[in-house]
Structure formats: structure tokens, C-alpha cells
Amino acid sequence: MHRVVFAPEAEEQLVALYLHIAEAASPEIAGNYTEAIVKQCEGLRSIPPRGTRRNYIRPGLRTIGFRRRVTIAFSAVDEVVTVHGIYYGGQDFEKALDGE
């Protein structure tokens, strides 16, 4: 079983998404939505080689979608899955990850 870690950028994006949804809807809705994203990420423990390969951006990078509005970017090396970013609402994850 792999261990899932969140890069600081991914944690910041998750907090920003929570604040955005809390302001637009409610803290409860924001909490439920962001918790569901975290659970999706934690689900990568058991089968990390899921998603679409994005080696043209960064070697080993993969992405998965979440509820048609979020793209989760991650990589799996050895026994660690690193969530690099959580991109909401059509944000350009390719440009963001290529520039790091």
C-alpha cells in the first residue's frame, strides 16, 4: 500500500477552493466537497497508476478528474503518491505544472 502526501501547492489550492465554495455556497458544502477530493486522493494508495499519463509535462505525472470540475495531478514513486496540484474549473494545470 502506498502513502499519499500533498505538496504544499496542492494544500494551498485545496484551501483556496474551500474558501471559494464557502463564500459562494456555504462552509458545509465547501467542507463536504473538499473532503471528497481528499478521499479521492487517498484512494490512490491502493492503485496509483490510474489516470492519464502526462509525461510531456513532467516524467511520471498523471491526472485524474473529479466530478467534472477538478483535475488532480499526481505522481507515484516507490511507495509514495505525491499530489502535486488540485485544479478547479478549467484552470490550466499543464502550464502551472510545466512552469514549476
Domain range for 72? 3-98
Overall pTM > 0.85:
yes
For 26-65, write each residue's pLDDT tens digit: 999 999 999 999 999 999 988 767 899 998 888 989 999 9
Q: For residue 53, what is the domain's CATH number?
A: 3.30.2310.20
Concatenating the DSSP letter of every residue in 4-52 gives EEE-HHHHHHHHHHHHHHHHHT-HHHHHHHHHHHHHHHHGGGT-TT-SE
The total number of structural domains that make up the chain: 1
